[in-house]
Structure 1
Amino acid sequence: MPLHVPPAPAPALRSVLAALGSPAAVRQAPTPSLRALTGPPTPELPLPVHVLDRLTGDGPFRTRLTGWRFLIRSNDRAVAAADSMLTPDGWTFSHFFEGPYLNSTERALRQAESLPADCQPRLLSIPALYMLTLWLHGDPGADASSGAPAPGDVLIPLAPAPPGIAAHRPRTVADLLPALALRLTPAPTAKTTPLLGQPA
């Protein structure tokens, strides 16, 4: 699947480049790999981060853009990621990080390249389940800052995934999101029959 990576807003990229150029920002980041670099780091593969605040079984599924995530590469490997976020004053650098989602994102992007259709890669966060997925939007030319998951779009859960959800198993929105919604639906409480002589 050819990936049509959308261009990040120029101010978002500039904010990350400025942070990478700041020894204080890099030194204070909880990213040993980034602090130990010998070569120049480069922000690549910008992915818009969308959040799904309300998960229902029947949709429609609406998202909101919260930021852009860049993979920071050095010597042909990802060593960290950097997030920028939208504030009332515009795009600003948020933080550097590393950890399991970094390698998982790279793995999911490689998986996406082996799928048959063109797509636009995004990240979809589902806070209610502490879950992050690679969202393969079926319209490669769409505005990356808006739009909702379409039933035929593909989601690849990133590791670590919630218990019972297979990480790195691609599933369509129509298949995965309703199944996730069931996890958030409270189980019906058993209705007890009143004993004889008790008020109903």
Structure 2
Amino acid sequence: MPLHVPPAPAPALRSVLAALGSPTAVRDARTPALQSVQGPLSPELPLPVHELDALTPVAPEDRTALTNRAPRTRLTGWRFLIRNGERAVAAADTMLTADGWAFSRFFEGPYLPSTERALRQAESLTTFHQPRLLSVPELYMLMLWLHGDTAADPASGAPAPADILIPLAPAPPGFAAHRPHLAAELLPVIDVRLTPATPLLRTPA
């Protein structure tokens, strides 16, 4: 089914277009493709990047309560795929500053083809979704987040139990890249990995 790609904030898109039009910005990016590619470059498929909030520690006997915790996320930026014709050659990140949305960086690397592969996986599903990215910095983990409410504000909200999460490659140990999971199944596993056990207090001898 087609994905409902949300529109990015106009200032975020303008900042990327301005960076693409600046020889200095492209040169400073030091990405091989941007330095060597021929022909026009266009930012496409804007994806809001959300970060999963870290959890507070819990005692070992309370860890079963993790499955009942509501996930909390916050918007950290918008990511655009930079295309040259039919090929994505780089990505561009924007960030929110005191003056509004601003260009952050160009980059390449494994997350670029992995994002494209996950989006193709999403296109093959039988239900409509709003695509987002969900980052778990503590695990060095990034996922394609397929939100079931296609009319939702892309800048807010948290994964619903029936939302689909697809870990991107490289995925951290214990997680299979490009294997879709329901958020209700994957988030409790992530919570357990993120939440340190509270150390036991020993009474003096």
TM beyond 0.5 = yes
Number of positions where the alignment pairs a residue of Structure 1 with one of Structure 2: 195
Give me the whole-angstrom Cα distance separating, in 2, the residues matched to 1:91 and 1:187: 38
Deviations 1:118-150 (A, max 9, x none): 000000001111100000000011111111111
Matched, 1:79 2:86: no
- Residue 4 of structure 1 is matched in structure 2 by 4
Task: Please list every run of at least 4 consecutive aligned residues from structure 1 whose deviation after the TM superposition is greater than 3 angstroms.
Answer: 185-192
1:64 to 55, 69, 74: 74
Find the residue that maps to 2:114 and give its secondary structure: helix
- Say which of 151, 154, 159 aligns to 1:144: 154
Partner of 2:190: 180
Deviations 1:78-137 (A, max 9, x none): 000001111110010000000000000000000001111100000000111110000000
Deviation of 1:55 (Å): 4.4
* Residues 135-177 of structure 1: per-residue CA shift (max 9 Å, x gap): 0000011111111111110000000000010000000110001
Distance 1:141 1:42 in 2: 25
Q: In the TM superposition, what is the alpha-carbon distance from 1:54 to its structure 2 partner?
A: 2.0
**Corresponding residue to 2:118 among 98, 108, 111:** 108
Distance of 2:42 and 2:99 partners within structure 1: 25
Q: Which amino acid aligns with 1:126?
A: V
The one-letter code of the counterpart of 1:81 is A
Query: Is the contact between residue 137 and residue 150 of structure 1 (CA under 8 Å) also seen in structure 2?
Result: yes
Q: Which has the larger radius of gyration?
A: 1
Higher helix share: 2
Please say if residues 17 and 43 of structure 1, whose CA atoms lie closer than 8 Å, have aligned partners that are also in contact. yes
TM-score (norm 2): 0.90
Specify the code of the residue in structure 1 equivalent to 2:168. Answer: L
Provide the secondary structure at the position in 1 that maps to 2:81.
strand
CA contact 1:16–1:82 (8 Å) conserved in 2: yes
Percent identity between the two aligned chains: 73
TM-score, normalization: structure 1? 0.92
For residue 14 of structure 1, give the secondary structure of its aligned residue in structure 2. helix
